Amino acid sequence: SAQIADLQQKLLDADNGDRAKQRWDSIATILEAKCALKYLLGELVSSKVQESKLQSSLQQSQASCSDMQKMLMEERNHTAEQETEFQNQILVQEQQHQEKVNHSSWK
């Protein structure tokens, strides 16, 4: 039944496509042509508006992504600096401990 439903949907889609083509093919008067042209221009304007909105959204998303990448890089640099500082502190403490051990063993 899923296959039958799928085939029925395909037939409906094809039929609708044929109807639309027949409508355009059956334009016979200037008035019908004007109406069709008006409809098409309306669709064009609508598409352009949608494209503009999508373009704006894309630009905002790109700017946001760029900001996030910058913040991520700053955080990575900060983390690397902290890691280096931490390693230096460990090294200093190990050296101090070794000096205490060496100093104790000389006494």
Q: Which two tokens stand for residue 96?
A: 């101090």
The Cα–Cα gap between 69 and 57 comes to 18
Task: Tell me the whole-structure pTM to 2 decimals.
Answer: 0.52
Helix, strand counts (H, E) of the chain? 2, 0
DSSP secondary structure of 17-62: HHHHHHHHHT--SHHHHHHHHHHHHHHHHHHHHHHHHHHHHHHHHH
**Predicted confidence (pLDDT) per residue in 52-67, tens digit:** 999 999 999 999 999 9
Alpha-carbon torsion angle 2, 3, 8, 13, nearest 10: 100
**Predicted confidence (pLDDT) per residue in 69-91, tens digit:** 999 999 999 999 999 999 999 99
What pLDDT is recorded for position 32? Answer: 82
What pLDDT is recorded for position 17? Answer: 61
Per domain, the residue ranges of the chain are 2-106
